[in-house]
Structure 1
Amino acid sequence: MQTMIFSDLIQPIPILATAPENGSIVLAGVLLSLVIIYLASKLGGELSKAVDLPPVLGELVGGVVVGASALHLLVFPESGAVAADSLLMKLLQWIGDLSPEAVVNVFETQSEVVSVLAEIGVIILLFEIGLESDLRDLKEVGYQAAIVAVVGVVAPFAAGTAGLMFFFNVAAIPAIFAGAALTATSIGITSKVLSELGRLKSKEGQIIVGAAVIDDVLGIIVLAVVASLAKTGEVDVFNVIYLIISATVFLLGSIFLGKFFNRSFVAIADKLQTRGQLVIPAFTFAFLMAFLANVIQLEAILGAFAAGLVLDETDKRKELDKQVVPIADILVPIFFVAVGAKADLGVLNPAVPENREGLVIAVFLIGVAIIGKLVTGWTFIGQPQINRLAIGVGMIPRGEVGLVFAGIGSASGVLSKPLEAAIIIMVILTTFLAPPFLRVAFKGSPEAAEVEESKEALEQADLLG
């Protein structure tokens, strides 16, 4: 009897290998990539939630773990990786008995498909943010929130851009992109903490949330401008002016015309009888707006954000919010995990001499990110009762909005690895620090005792009930 060794038992699966142009093996690669993405996002999100931190941070860290910084299960060619760097490609090569040339083709195609899914995810994310950015909330705080927002955008943007160019000799466009990433403020994270503290309806809470909404609007305009600059590769003053004007007109015009469009949208949704009668017209509108923004040389996410602001004014906003959430839950994690996977945090390892500059850049960006938002609390004159520290701290977390900037910058190819990793570190650290700092800032305020008394009264009422 002939002896059969273990290697004879393990043979490649010929079905996948015989597929024309490796179509089936590409599909297998995409499916396995999604399995890795969803496992990383859920495990990371649950662990982050367990320690009372935003789940989006866990998704990002999960991407870092499975990506170029650690396990190499999910890597992308735009980050400098090749097929041989991917453990997933090695598995597919063994399964499909692929030649080295075929592995390269599969790697590039699979990465492109996942990147497209991530782009759709970020479009849906900005659409969802637009739906949550209720412009009516600004009526209560008006010019105060506007002042905080403008200072919170201008100060870190100017300091970050100028500092990178002057101290670190970073080129203009990458420096502008990094400066733009410093302008963001996460509405979701700050709102959650304010709600837990019972301060969401306080004067400071309203100012913070209102300013965060304006920050998003200004930040998306800035992102549209700098992303378009990245495509041209140069800073043209007339082009910058055109982009600022076109982005502003596009956004404000969309909101203005949306008042007339809302009635038609509701009427169409009411007449449709099949499944998806509300969510499909909404996404059709969002994708159309994203396409129009892209056509006029703006970022597609600006169009999606504008679509969200428009549909936020409809009578079906709450119902639409509920229907958008599960779709976002499927596609948005792909974006966050991909951002983390593409970031090679190894470039910040201080043990390697050439990495030390990137680490210094990260420290610089973190300092600018914190100070640039803290100063917003001191923009009020003649209002001694305002908790200025709480307002400044409430504007610090970058959260998912900051990751959008990092992801777009990475996809454009203008960011060096050290600068991209430094931006992600800045986003992570500011988001980690803000919740506990905000609790401390409000704890020392004059109203803290009243809030504690109210909580105790509610607890006693529950016990008695």
Structure 2
Amino acid sequence: MHLDLVSFSLPTFPLLASTSETVDSSLVLAGVLLSLLVSYLASKLGGELANRLGLPTVLGELIGGVIIGVSVLHLLVFPGEGIDASSSAIMRFLELTDGLSPAAANSVFEAQSEVISILAELGVIILLFEIGLESNLKDLMAVGIQAVVVACVGVVVPFVAGTAGLMIIFGLPAIPSIFAGAALTATSIGITSKVLSEMGKLNSKEGQIILGAAVIDDILGIIVLAVVASLAKDGAVDVGNVVYLIVSATGFLLGAIALGNLFNKAFVGVVNKLKTRGELIIPAFIFAFAMAYLADAIQLEAILGSFAAGLVLEETEKRKELQKLILPIADMLVPVFFVVVGSKTDLSVLNPAVPSNREGLIMATFLVTVAIIGKVVTGLSVFGIPQINRLAIGVGMIPRGEVGLVFLGIGSSIGILSKPLEAAIIVMVIVTTFLAPPLLKFVFPEQNTTQLKSVDSE
């Protein structure tokens, strides 16, 4: 499972080609620039409004994405079922101003969408690298057992309840019910970690358990998805692939932790010898991208690799300097990720006036209930830590975000989900994604929101 917000392979269009190809590189560039323009405007306006209302900035960025996306203005849309160049206001604008021909519009639209999707992917990779730098490996390991328990409960409870409910209450076949149940296991580490960071709660006990559990939950989600997808395709589980995923995931995380103890001094030693511009940030990104690629190459999440890289470099004496250097880069790319997630949110599935939506909305009510309760109960599984905010831990595990969309996309591509069930999963993803940030703000006491700043100043 990868965080592909739109299914794509690496771009084949030559952005710098000198010859005339099917895709006009200048028009692709124009489309990308306009897409970034509206994305930044939406994220900034939405973020500022959310901040003034006392809500997490990320919620405003998501809502800004919804407004410019497929639900409202159609400025930032992506190829999909029923969506082509004619659905994009930006493509229509290019036809009016830059001479884009209707015949070439789809090619330009697809190329532009791939570039924005890749920038969004880079945004979440850098976000998790930044979160890793802000986290403390020793603190994370100290709550490791609790995080594992929380993650396992957060996978098993919603999966079992969702699958059984769809089969018993709605009479759905086993395979689509299992797939929908698997979609309920996801947790969006990008959304939760961003909110915790904004609130200054990332290094609290609750924040460390949520973060550790979200990482483990992501790995478990990969394994669950591999099992369910192979079951849907072939009617049998590829045991070898499941064992491979378990071994590779465990080996990767343990290897990253071990690497941290060996790599820190070598990294600082190399950096201290460099004299040209970017002597710290470029080697850091080389390491982060190498780790992200390695995770991706062994069928894990690229964001797990960048998060592990951040944890490793957090142990170095260059941590604070590196945090300052990465901020402007994160400010450029991370909002693109959240705006893209919002822009892909199709609120039309929430319209009960459309007869085909009604069955999906009934299923969605069930899935949303299971999705929220199935994660909130995870806080009850925390043990051995007195005066811990168990409700905050459960709420922090609620958002499905882009990870839920990946489950949906794979289920749709296999062809095992009915239209009502697809709509139900979309509604579940929408509600949990947008509900979690304000709930996190509510469940954490206001007087402790400066904890991260006090930790960083020590």
TM-score (norm 2): 0.79
- 1:410 to partner: Cα distance: 6.1
Match in the other structure for 1:436: 442
* Match for residue 171 of structure 1 among 150, 163, 176: 176
Match in the other structure for 2:337: 335
* Match for residue 218 of structure 1 among 216, 219, 223: 216
1:82 aligns with 2:84: yes
Which whole-Å deviations, capped at 9, do the CAs of 1:302-333 have from their partners, x for residues lacking one? 22222222222222122212222211111111
- 1:88 to partner: Cα distance: 0.9
- 1:43 to partner: Cα distance: 0.7
Match in the other structure for 2:351: 349
* Match for residue 66 of structure 2 among 60, 64, 67: 64
Match in the other structure for 1:463: none
Seen in structure 2, the aligned counterparts of structure 1 residues 277 and 362 have a Cα distance that, compared at 3 Å, is farther
Corresponding letter in the other structure for 1:217: V
Seen in structure 2, the aligned counterparts of structure 1 residues 39 and 165 have a Cα distance that, compared at 3 Å, is farther
Match in the other structure for 1:392: 391
Corresponding letter in the other structure for 1:403: G
- 8 Å Cα contact 1:224/1:302 also seen in 2: no
Name the SS for the 1:52 alignment partner.
coil
- 8 Å Cα contact 1:64/1:337 also seen in 2: yes
Question: Following the alignment from structure 1 to structure 2, what is the Cα–Cα distance between the partners of residues 191 and 333?
Answer: 14
Match in the other structure for 1:52: 54
- 8 Å Cα contact 1:148/1:377 also seen in 2: yes
Seen in structure 2, the aligned counterparts of structure 1 residues 71 and 339 have a Cα distance that, compared at 3 Å, is same
Question: Following the alignment from structure 1 to structure 2, what is the Cα–Cα distance between the partners of residues 173 and 95?
Answer: 49
Match in the other structure for 1:300: 302
Seen in structure 2, the aligned counterparts of structure 1 residues 270 and 430 have a Cα distance that, compared at 3 Å, is same
Structure 1 gaps of 5+ residues are 1-17, 443-447, 452-465
Question: Following the alignment from structure 1 to structure 2, what is the Cα–Cα distance between the partners of residues 417 and 148?
Answer: 28
Structure 2 gaps of 5+ residues are 1-17, 414-421, 449-458
* Match for residue 277 of structure 2 among 275, 278, 303: 275
Name the SS for the 1:319 alignment partner.
helix
* Match for residue 312 of structure 2 among 310, 313, 324: 310
- 8 Å Cα contact 1:161/1:179 also seen in 2: no
- 8 Å Cα contact 2:43/2:60 also seen in 1: yes
- 8 Å Cα contact 1:369/1:430 also seen in 2: no
Corresponding letter in the other structure for 2:394: M
- 8 Å Cα contact 1:152/1:183 also seen in 2: no
Question: Following the alignment from structure 1 to structure 2, what is the Cα–Cα distance between the partners of residues 142 and 409?
Answer: 26
Identity %: 51
1:123 aligns with 2:128: no
Question: Following the alignment from structure 1 to structure 2, what is the Cα–Cα distance between the partners of residues 135 and 213?
Answer: 11
Seen in structure 2, the aligned counterparts of structure 1 residues 437 and 224 have a Cα distance that, compared at 3 Å, is same
- 8 Å Cα contact 1:190/1:395 also seen in 2: no
Name the SS for the 1:378 alignment partner.
helix
Question: Following the alignment from structure 2 to structure 1, what is the Cα–Cα distance between the partners of residues 147 and 300?
Answer: 26
Name the SS for the 1:75 alignment partner.
coil
Name the SS for the 1:171 alignment partner.
helix
- 8 Å Cα contact 2:133/2:313 also seen in 1: yes
Match in the other structure for 1:93: 95
- 1:123 to partner: Cα distance: 1.6
Bigger relative contact order, structure 1 or 2 (CA pairs below 8 A, ≥6 apart):
2
- 8 Å Cα contact 2:210/2:397 also seen in 1: no
- 1:75 to partner: Cα distance: 0.8
- 1:112 to partner: Cα distance: 1.2
- 1:248 to partner: Cα distance: 1.7
Seen in structure 2, the aligned counterparts of structure 1 residues 96 and 293 have a Cα distance that, compared at 3 Å, is same
Name the SS for the 1:60 alignment partner.
helix
- 8 Å Cα contact 2:69/2:77 also seen in 1: yes
- The number of residue pairs the alignment matches comes to 413
- 1:230 to partner: Cα distance: 8.3
Match in the other structure for 1:459: none
- 1:294 to partner: Cα distance: 2.0
Question: Following the alignment from structure 2 to structure 1, what is the Cα–Cα distance between the partners of residues 297 and 358?
Answer: 41
Larger Rg: 1
- 8 Å Cα contact 1:153/1:218 also seen in 2: no
Match in the other structure for 2:207: 209
Report the more deviating stretch, 364-373 or 214-223.
Answer: 364-373
Question: Following the alignment from structure 1 to structure 2, what is the Cα–Cα distance between the partners of residues 382 and 99?
Answer: 65
- 8 Å Cα contact 1:152/1:372 also seen in 2: yes
Seen in structure 2, the aligned counterparts of structure 1 residues 330 and 409 have a Cα distance that, compared at 3 Å, is farther
- 1:81 to partner: Cα distance: 0.8
Seen in structure 2, the aligned counterparts of structure 1 residues 105 and 147 have a Cα distance that, compared at 3 Å, is closer
Which whole-Å deviations, capped at 9, do the CAs of 1:216-235 have from their partners, x for residues lacking one? 22123134435666886745
Question: Following the alignment from structure 2 to structure 1, what is the Cα–Cα distance between the partners of residues 379 and 45?
Answer: 36
Match in the other structure for 2:195: 189
Name the SS for the 1:309 alignment partner.
helix
Match in the other structure for 2:185: 180
Seen in structure 2, the aligned counterparts of structure 1 residues 75 and 229 have a Cα distance that, compared at 3 Å, is farther
- 1:19 to partner: Cα distance: 9.2
Corresponding letter in the other structure for 1:82: D
Corresponding letter in the other structure for 2:395: I
* Match for residue 401 of structure 2 among 383, 400, 403: 403
Seen in structure 2, the aligned counterparts of structure 1 residues 381 and 83 have a Cα distance that, compared at 3 Å, is closer
Corresponding letter in the other structure for 1:299: E
Superposed counterparts of 1:278-293, under 5 Å: 278-293=280-295
- 8 Å Cα contact 1:67/1:75 also seen in 2: yes
Name the SS for the 1:395 alignment partner.
helix
* Match for residue 366 of structure 1 among 368, 374, 385: 368
Which whole-Å deviations, capped at 9, do the CAs of 1:114-157 have from their partners, x for residues lacking one? 11111111221222222233222246656555544543444334
Seen in structure 2, the aligned counterparts of structure 1 residues 36 and 166 have a Cα distance that, compared at 3 Å, is farther
